[in-house]
Amino acid sequence: MSDTPSVRLVQQSDYQFAIYFDEEQSPIYGDEPPPLGKSQGATPSQFLLAGVANCLSDSLLFALRKFKQNPEPIETKARCDIGRNDQNRLRILAIDVEIRIGVPGTALENLDRVLAQFQDFCTVSSSVNLGIPVNVTVIDSDDQKLYPVL
């Protein structure tokens, strides 16, 4: 992994941008919803959610694989609450992430240790969490809530 990730954005029209992560691959597109844009790409908020959710999913998988456990398939959903701050500006107020693993939690060894530490491996959510609360839930294939433990 590069120590200095970068992207290049090229305006296509109005608020739509082609986003290049690698110059040798096709771009993905970002756009704003109407009335500013035409919803012909993900919004900046969706990109932030994708980054947080992807990093948390990777971190959980990494932590489980350290113990030679196989949780696949993993499916993650993320949503955010958007509201106005004291200056009446729209801001992301909180992010909720739900990670579903494809096996029962009882089938995974060292699960307590994994769940206690996996978020520490996530560069993105740990960084975002400094300014925006990131709430994470992990659920197994039997619909049992594994994390957070109440």
What is the rounded distance in angstroms from the CA atom of residue 100 to the CA atom of residue 138? 6
Q: Which two tokens stand for residue 25?
A: 């691959």
Amino acid 3: pLDDT = 80
Amino acid 12: pLDDT = 98
Amino acid 26: pLDDT = 97
pTM of the shown model: 0.94
Amino acid 44: pLDDT = 97
Name the strand (E) or helix (H) holding 20.
strand 16-20
Amino acid 2: pLDDT = 53
What is the rounded distance in angstroms from the CA atom of residue 7 to the CA atom of residue 35? 26
Q: Mean pLDDT per segment of 10 residues, for the chain of length 150 residues? A: 85 98 95 96 98 98 97 98 97 98 98 96 97 98 92
What is the rounded distance in angstroms from the CA atom of residue 11 to the CA atom of residue 109? 49
Q: Which two tokens stand for residue 79?
A: 């949503």
Amino acid 15: pLDDT = 98
Q: What is residue 99's three-state secondary structure?
A: strand
